[in-house]
Amino acid sequence: MYNGKSSGQGPVRVGGWYIKPMYLYIGAAILAVAAIFLIMRFLSTSLAMHFGAFAGILLLVGNLRELIGQSYGDRGSTALLNVLVGGGLIFAWLSQFFGVLLWVPALILVGIATPLIFGRSSVYRGYLTAARSAVDTVKRTVVR
């Protein structure tokens, strides 16, 4: 017998919030569509881009520890060069999934890495000086 009430469940409690099940279904459908979209983009991206992303990860993992440590001279500039190129490769790969705008950081990283090829020690010292002055400026601004 129909008594005017729906036979469905009432609101579901999620993290302290009461949400109607319909909204949960809509959210699950949106997440499913987004997952399918990303999987399709992953499969349609060329093998060369996946290879470049793997090479970028190898460059980052292999050189980040040396770059963060107290390495000086040409070893540090080589590590910085490798980390910048690796980051550029990762951003280029991510641009295949999330859009053209991620090409901008990829090009910037590779553009910053390019001068390191020609004058490693002087460019490396210049980059370190610029980074230290930027950190000092941020410290003075935040610590006030």
Q: One-letter amino acid identity for 141?
A: T
pTM: 0.59
Helices (H) and strands (E) in the chain, counts: 5, 2
**d(C-alpha 46, C-alpha 28), whole Å:** 29
pLDDT value of residue 90: 92
pLDDT value of residue 104: 94
Is the predicted pLDDT of residue 48 greater than 70, yes or no?
yes
Size (the chain), residues: 144
Per residue in 72-106, pLDDT (tens digit) is 555 567 788 888 899 999 999 898 888 889 899 99
SS3 (DSSP) at 98: helix
Per residue in 103-112, pLDDT (tens digit) is 999 999 988 8
pLDDT value of residue 5: 54
How does residue 50 score in pLDDT terms, banded at 50, 70 and 90?
confident
